[in-house]
Amino acid sequence: MSDNRIFGTHRTWEDWFGMLLGVLIMVSPWFPLQVDDAIDVERTHLILNSFVVGMLVLGIAQLEYVALHRWEEVAGILLGLWLVASPFVLGYSADQMLRLWHIALGGLVAIMGALALWQDWNLSEQELAKHSQ
């Protein structure tokens, strides 16, 4: 029999991992293995998108570390889904490596948000407040 407590309890490493994902998203336009490393006016929208989404993911993960609320997990899921969809919506899906990075990182953010929401679904507000202690 498997022990459900491993994934059944919100752990602080999940918040630290979310912070790491936020930083990785912010710097993703400059990851190695990019096909075209030239930064020009046409790439500013994807750089801005990466920076804003990364900052929001980082900020939400920090909030979860300090004071846990369900809206933070929902926001994380939405940000992850936006990052997955943004190459197609903003028109940079031709940049295959960045598209792959954003789909992978966005998927991880959405999965971590869904895991945290599942872990905290039945907790009361008082139990959520004890997370940072």
**Residue 37 or 87, more confident:** 87
In sequence order, which residues have a C-beta less than 8 Å from that of residue 121 and are 6 or more positions away? 70
In a domain? residue 41: yes
Alpha-carbon distance of 118 to 92, in angstroms, equals 33
In a domain? residue 81: yes
User: Could you list the residue range(s) of the whole structural domain that residue 18 is in?
Assistant: 11-123
Structure-block tokens of residue 93: 């899906």
In a domain? residue 131: no
In a domain? residue 100: yes
* CB-CB contact of 115 with 80 (8 Å): no
Q: Is the pLDDT assigned to residue 38 strictly greater than 70?
A: no
Alpha-carbon distance of 13 to 16, in angstroms, equals 5
Number of domains forming the structure of the chain = 1
In a domain? residue 113: yes
In a domain? residue 53: yes
Q: What Rg do the C-alpha atoms of the chain give, in angstroms?
A: 16
In a domain? residue 128: no
Q: Is the pLDDT assigned to residue 8 strictly greater than 70?
A: no
pLDDT, mean over the chain = 81
Alpha-carbon distance of 22 to 25, in angstroms, equals 5
In a domain? residue 95: yes
